[in-house]
């Protein structure tokens, strides 16, 4: 008897679950059919969503690429560590190994005073002047390539190198690097600002579009309320409408973004190759693709929620003389 009762409860549970699932599938298909049935209106809405998401996405991805690209530029930043003149070659080599062992140092090259003066003679026509000095005026130098090219990280490394015994001074030209980081940070910030502005406007557009759909079905909604339909039952189709608008807009945004990057990526990579850099433009990959889709769906659902909150409160069955009795 207990087994039969448990079996009956289990059957009812799965039947209810199946009904719930099928009802959602039916409403999802219904919402899709509705937007397909209005191709012009749907095209305008999802195109607007796609542009509103795609444009700031382009700025953000560009900023991220160039900021990451600075970290991939071969030999873009070198810290010159000038050693005391009293430091011998063996001591300079030992100090170079000590510097190389630091976690924020990528590459170290020790240049002895003799090697430095030979390079100087090859690159200039001042060899006669050097001979008149009677001795080599150049110190041993350690060239250091940092792991991170972030100006703050480089400045911290320069400060730590200056504190080492045997180091007379450590310096690098951070001006150009700071300017580049500033420019690309602005590009990324512009993308974020555009995203906030466009997303707010986008939510209002979706809310208006779905609000019109709700208004067009006002009488049908009133009748369903009179028949005892729950609020969630009435709201679900409009949420799925927002879902499809957001999904379609996210797909359009991805298309816009990728098409925009085709000519841009080729030009950037050619420029990088001219500087013997291995930089490769990152179009975002699957993670960015799905993130843009999720943003579109979220904005579509948010717009639907806003529309439902406003329009459902305006629909009052009693104004048409209906009675709940």
Q: Which domains, ranges and CATH numbers included, belong to the chain?
A: 25-71+179-318 (no CATH), 79-173 (3.30.70.3040)
Is pLDDT at 59 greater than 50 in this prediction? yes
Is pLDDT at 128 greater than 60 in this prediction? no
Region 126-137 average pLDDT? 52
Query: Helix H segments across the chain?
Result: 2-36, 39-70, 89-100, 113-123, 127-133, 151-162, 175-216, 218-226, 231-274, 285-314
**Residue with tokens 């945004």, as numbered in its chain:** 253
Q: How far is CA 96 from CA 21, 108, 128, 167, 230, in A?
A: 68, 7, 31, 11, 75
CA–CA separation, 67 vs 54, rounded Å? 20
Confidence of residue 1 (pLDDT cuts 50, 70, 90): very low
Q: What percent of the chain has pLDDT over 70?
A: 69
CA–CA separation, 92 vs 83, rounded Å? 8
Give the pLDDT confidence score for residue 310 in this predicted structure.
78
Strand, coil or helix: 183: helix
Is pLDDT at 155 greater than 70 in this prediction? yes
Q: Which among 95, 99, 114, 316 is positioned nearest to 218, based on CA atoms?
A: 316
Q: Which among 87, 31, 10 is positioned nearest to 236, based on CA atoms?
A: 31
With 0.85 as the threshold, say if the pTM is over it. no
């Amino acid at each position: 008897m207990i087994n039969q009762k448990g079996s009956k409860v289990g059957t009812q549970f799965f039947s209810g679950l199946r009904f719930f699932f099928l009802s959602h599938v039916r409403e999802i298909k219904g919402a899709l059919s509705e937007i397909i049935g209005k191709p012009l209106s749907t095209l305008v809405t999802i195109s607007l969503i796609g542009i509103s998401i795609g444009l700031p996405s382009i700025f953000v991805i560009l900023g991220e690429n160039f900021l990451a690209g600075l970290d991939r530029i071969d030999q873009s930043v070198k810290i010159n560590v000038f050693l005391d003149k009293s430091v011998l070659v063996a001591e300079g080599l030992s100090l170079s190994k000590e510097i190389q062992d630091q976690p924020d140092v990528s590459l170290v090259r020790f240049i002895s005073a003799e090697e430095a003066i030979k390079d100087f003679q090859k690159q200039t026509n001042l060899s006669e002047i050097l001979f008149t000095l009677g001795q080599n005026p150049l110190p041993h130098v350690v060239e250091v390539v940092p792991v991170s090219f972030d100006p703050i990280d480089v400045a911290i490394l320069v400060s730590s190198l200056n504190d080492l015994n045997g180091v007379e001074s450590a310096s690098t030209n951070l001006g150009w690097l700071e300017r580049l980081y500033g420019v690309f940070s602005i590009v990324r910030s512009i993308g974020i600002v555009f995203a906030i502005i466009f997303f707010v406007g986008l939510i209002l557009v979706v809310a208006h579009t779905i609000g019109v759909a709700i208004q067009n079905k006002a009488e049908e909604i009133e009748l369903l309320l009179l028949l005892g339909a729950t609020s969630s039952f009435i709201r679900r189709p409009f949420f799925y409408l927002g879902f499809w608008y957001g999904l379609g807009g996210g797909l359009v945004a991805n298309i816009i973004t990728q098409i925009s990057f085709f000519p841009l990526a080729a030009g950037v990579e050619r420029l990088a190759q001219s500087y013997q850099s291995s930089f490769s433009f990152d179009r975002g990959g699957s993670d960015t693709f799905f993130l843009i889709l999720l943003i579109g769906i979220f904005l579509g659902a948010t717009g639907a929620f806003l529309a439902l909150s406003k329009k459902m409160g305006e629909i009052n069955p009693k104004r048409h003389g209906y009675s709940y009795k």
